[in-house]
Amino acid sequence: MKKERSLAGRFLQYGALALFVQLACACSDKAPPPPPVANSAQGTSASTPAAAPVADGKLVVAFGDSLYAGYNLDQGKGLAPVLEQALAAKGMKAQVVNAGVSGDTSAAGLARLAFTLDGLARKPDLMLVGLGGNDMLRGLSPEVTRDNLDAILAELKKRGIPVLLTGMLASPNMGPDYAAAFNPIFPALAKKYDATLYPFMLDGVIGDRALQLPDGIHPNDKGVTVIVGKLAPVVMEELRG
């Protein structure tokens, strides 16, 4: 609880309302159709099938929204390629597949989940799941968000795919009642499905304009490096586990 209050405070300090209005405008209001298959971290286009996994290496899939997709970043600067490089630097041979789609809600993610998984060369060793932020921006029912994420995690459990769930916190302008319903979704589902929880995807970036794009919330390349610096050790632990 102290962790969540501290992180929520960063939203308040930075003027969360303006930030989230900008983010809502930056992300598409219409959920895109499922891509033909998730693209790899090597900078291939979204319509290019994922390359075969590294021989004798791990396969990681980053399944989420714009924070995973590398929104408005140069090729090779998004979460997936930077995470792959960080793992390699730590001696972990892995391919990180970018299955992020900007503007995705939890419902859109659920709709494309099976298609994405079936298009992979093999079952992933780890699935990063980062959805729900756009649900919150649009004021969608937290109960619906919970149900969609629950269905995603249930399908991954059915397929025997380990999960690292990256959480999101409600903007304070959504009000205390919304936050009370939204914020517990991620820890509760992580516990239910025995998934590892990374509590807040934007930890270390929110509130620091030097780490953000001009929209005031999406990470720039430096911000992605900060996120990966915190996230990579957790991914490493999961892959070694």
Instruction: State residue 42's pLDDT score.
Output: 40
Residue 239: strand, helix, or coil = helix
Beta-bridge mates of residue 181: none
In 3D space, the residue among 76, 25, 30, 71 whose CA is nearest the CA of residue 212 turns out to be 71
Residue 217 is predicted with a pLDDT of: 83
Instruction: Tell me the residue range of the domain where 150 lies.
Output: 2-240
pLDDT given at position 241 = 84
The predicted model scores a pTM of 0.82
The DSSP symbol for 65 reads: S
Our count of domains for the chain comes to: 1
Per-residue pLDDT 10s for the chain (241 aa) are 444 444 444 454 444 433 443 444 444 444 333 343 344 444 333 333 344 556 679 999 999 999 999 999 999 999 999 999 999 999 999 999 999 999 999 999 999 999 999 999 999 999 999 999 999 999 999 999 999 999 999 999 999 999 999 999 999 999 999 999 999 999 999 999 999 999 999 999 998 999 999 988 899 999 999 999 999 999 999 999 8
Burial profile 90-119: b = 16 or more Cβ within 10 angstroms, e = fewer: eebebbbbbbbbbbbbbbbbbebbeebbeb
CA-wise closest residue to 47 among 38, 60, 56, 57: 38
Question: Rounded distance, CA 168 to CA 241, Å?
Answer: 25
Rounded Cα distance between 28 and 48, Å, is 22
CATH number of the domain within which 7 lies: 3.40.50.1110
Catalytically active residues, by annotation: 66, 215, 218
Give residue 216's pLDDT.
Answer: 85
Report which secondary-structure segment, H or E, holds 120: none
Q: Which helix (H) or strand (E) holds 100?
A: strand 94-100
- Rounded to whole angstroms, the maximal C-alpha distance in the chain is 49
pLDDT at residue 55 in the model: 64
